[in-house]
Structure 1
Amino acid sequence: MKRIQAPWLLSAPALVLYAAFVIAPIASVFLISLYSFEFYGGIRASFTLKNYIEILTEGYFYEIYGRTFGTALAVTLACIVMGTAEAYVLSRMRNPWKGVFLMVVLGPLLISVVVRTLGWALLFGSTGLISQALQAAGLASGPVNLMYTDLGVIIALTHVMVPFMVIAVWASLQRINPSTEAAALSLGASQFTVIRCVIVPQVMPGILSGSIMVFALSASAFATPAIVGGRRLKNVAMAAYDEFLNTLDWPLGSALGVLLLIATVIVLLSANRLIERRYGAVFGET
């Protein structure tokens, strides 16, 4: 009996903290999403699905969710390409350069996301460095303004999220035996073939875990889309923020958050299932 109880007793503090700081807030938000709201009467504790029906039947909310997940997908794909390449180069470096460049990659995490985003806002303006460089190179005939555009949001979010992908892929690369790459090269495979057929399948668990972090954080991002995208390119986090603090419609804002959580989990589980089906042998070994 003691052997059965020991694991539960040891994990009890962590379970209590998890329940208090994760499960309880999510349950509270879900409960509030079932309340009704009246402009003059405020929030009423009458359980209804009106908020969910409104979101699922209004084209305005479909546009917001489509923009949110489209941006998150684009950022995730960009981070996969850039983060995997950066992690591969880092893994092949020798000390002390490996440590130096790892700090260069992870350095942005030490700076506030708001400060980084404001820096991008200065670069993206019509008089910013990017616009001036494109005009000087003859690639643009006039000022180029990336502020309040989807491309600007994707670039800024990619800069924020790519370190998470590098960390995940770099950890997987540390478990690869370098002799497998050398064996493939000795058998006449090109470097591109080695990366595509030998390296990528072995680091797929790291790419998957990094993609989960990047997609979830990008879909729920607020500061970067709010600063670079502005009010015109509103995502789900900004819409929920408006409902909570501007219109004070907490039930509708909670419903937006709950649906965002559910949709994100469904997307991530579906991607996980597809990748595991293709790289099942690799996941089984790791």
Structure 2
Amino acid sequence: MNARRNTLPYWLSAPSVLVMLAFVALPLVITLSLSIFPFEPGGAVGNHLTVANYAEMVSDDYYPLIFLRTFGMALVVTLVCILIGVPEAYVLSKLSERWRAVSIVIVLGPMLISVVVRTLGWAILLGNEGVINKMLLASGLVSQPVKMMFTLTGVIVALVHVLVPFMVLAVWATLQKFDAATEQAAQSLGAGLWTIMRRIVFPQVIPGVLSGGLIVFALAASAFATPAIIGGRRLKVVSTTIYDEFLGNLNWPLGAALAVVLLVIVLAVSIGMNRLIERRYRQVFQ
């Protein structure tokens, strides 16, 4: 009886483990193995092992620039999502149950729409003949359309709209454990709103900011649809470069190598930031 009882959790988790191995682990292993084979003319893959694909990424200045642009963009998107998401989650936590439910639906509304549809909507807004430029021209603030499409700024704006709900949800979940008595005590001692946010609220929501920031950073660094539509063909990031190598140049080994490096860097940044912020978080509350 004890043996059966001990093995039951393993049998219950076996289906999800098999699905993860089949749809996550196996494709990653295939991608890694593909990246260590050479590219042959005509779109073929060689038979011998090589590190030429990784050496090409290091030796060619084009690929470090692409990675720098990608992770710089992801970092800016993450910071903007933190600046927007933390106050928004704080306001949500202060609303009544009725208005909180309505506000959460509004926050989650963009997530119910396809990312492609949302990005195309931003393309309409940001174009030279788009709504934003027409409003700026009509108000007299500018004399000619402001170029926002096919720019890094436009990509960042669209990605923030797509990803800020993840930050709001992560911080709002942390605020459910927030001790309101500490905030009331600070108010009774004469602390202002900014002091309360900086000294009391923000230190307690660091876990939510961390988890939301990691999610936003990973999704922004690997985003494809938004950079492809808003950024266009000239503003390359790693995801669109991988797409071009796979389907444009038919260089599957190099595309696989780019995907592996992207995955490794995202994992390294996520794990490193997780340990760093957790260490500081413990120091604050010890």
Report if TM-score (shorter chain) is over 0.5: yes
Q: Secondary structure at the match of 1:51?
A: helix
Equivalent residues of 1:276, 1:283 under 8 A apart? no
How many Å apart are 1:143 and its aligned residue? 1.1
1:39-78 to 2 correspondences below 5 Å: 39-40=41-42, 42-78=44-80
218, 239, 245: which is aligned to 1:243?
A: 245
**1:208 counterpart residue number:** 210
**1:37 counterpart residue number:** 39
Equivalent residues of 1:33, 1:255 under 8 A apart? yes
Q: Which runs of 5+ in 1 are unaligned?
A: none
How many Å apart are 1:88 and its aligned residue? 0.7
**2:189 counterpart residue number:** 187
How many Å apart are 1:160 and its aligned residue? 0.3
Q: Which is worse superposed, 4-13 or 203-212?
A: 4-13
**1:80 counterpart residue number:** 82
Q: Secondary structure at the match of 2:97?
A: coil
Q: Which runs of 5+ in 2 are unaligned?
A: none
Q: Which is worse superposed, 65-74 or 122-131?
A: 122-131
How many Å apart are 1:238 and its aligned residue? 0.5
Q: Deviations over 1:81-134 (max 9, x none)?
A: 101111111110002111111101110011111111111111111121211222
1:135-284 to 2 correspondences below 5 Å: 135-281=137-283
Instruction: Measure the CA separation in 1 of the matches of 2:6 and 2:284.
Output: 33
Instruction: Measure the CA separation in 2 of the matches of 1:47 and 1:245.
Output: 22
Number of equivalent positions = 284
Please report the RMSD computed on the Cα atoms of aligned residues, expressed in angstroms.
1.6
**Superposition TM-score, scaled by structure 1 size:** 0.95
Q: Which is worse superposed, 233-242 or 125-134?
A: 125-134
15, 25, 28: which is aligned to 2:27?
A: 25
How many Å apart are 1:282 and its aligned residue? 6.6
How many Å apart are 1:4 and its aligned residue? 5.2
Q: Secondary structure at the match of 2:66?
A: helix
How many Å apart are 1:8 and its aligned residue? 3.0
Q: Deviations over 1:178-197 (max 9, x none)?
A: 11111111111111111111
Structure 1 pair 199–275 and aligned structure 2 pair: CA distance change class (3 A): same
Q: Deviations over 1:58-86 (max 9, x none)?
A: 10001111111011001000001101111
Identity %: 53
Instruction: Measure the CA separation in 2 of the matches of 1:117 and 1:235.
Output: 16
How many Å apart are 1:41 and its aligned residue? 6.5
Structure 1 pair 39–25 and aligned structure 2 pair: CA distance change class (3 A): same
Equivalent residues of 2:89, 2:171 under 8 A apart? yes
Structure 1 pair 54–215 and aligned structure 2 pair: CA distance change class (3 A): same
Give, as a single letter, the amino acid of the residue that structure 2 aligns with 1:148.
Answer: F
Instruction: Measure the CA separation in 2 of the matches of 1:39 and 1:277.
Output: 50
Instruction: Measure the CA separation in 2 of the matches of 1:152 and 1:98.
Output: 30
Equivalent residues of 1:64, 1:234 under 8 A apart? yes
How many Å apart are 1:45 and its aligned residue? 2.6
**Superposition TM-score, scaled by structure 2 size:** 0.95
How many Å apart are 1:144 and its aligned residue? 1.0
Instruction: Measure the CA separation in 1 of the matches of 2:280 and 2:267.
Output: 20
Equivalent residues of 1:205, 1:283 under 8 A apart? no
**1:130 counterpart residue number:** 132
Equivalent residues of 1:90, 1:101 under 8 A apart? yes
